[in-house]
Structure 1
């Protein structure tokens, strides 16, 4: 199954939006579609999400993005190179929920 290029581009656009609401909704949509992505889409979305997380300034958005990324990893299709941007995060600056997601991802991929 796949979501298709149009939906993939929509997610990419929303994850890079200047609107925190759009970024958070994109993360929620990813969670809703997590079982609909094919291998290429999972890896693309994981790369986009990890870059979004690494640059996110809005705490609520960052938590949503980390949650979506954690959900994607359940597919078993995410590779370490897809989430390399997470290495830019400083764990000591994360909120507790963000740190939990980060610790999980770091234990799996770093």
Structure 2
């Protein structure tokens, strides 16, 4: 299940999916349609007992958790790659400096 838009009942503060039967019975002046860009928008709102059951919300939150976790893992990989590149560059510079320092020195 994925939410793209929700309908907020202005009077009760309950959120619904657009195709919920309760929305069809709601007065037009009592409806407010919102685009859902982030799960944070719905976290503190009261879900409808018909269209947004707890198990459905659990699926939504689980999907968002996995999405956020993936973003963090990708960011971590990117950051580690940058650190590795800096470390490799410093190590290469150290090797070059060492080799330059020993040119012309004979082992005795």
Q: Please give the TM-score of this superposition, normalised by the length of structure 2.
A: 0.28
Q: Greater CA radius of gyration, 1 or 2?
A: 2
Which fold has the larger relative contact order, with Cα–Cα distance below 8 Å and residues 6 or more apart in sequence? 1
Structure with the higher strand share, 1 or 2: 2
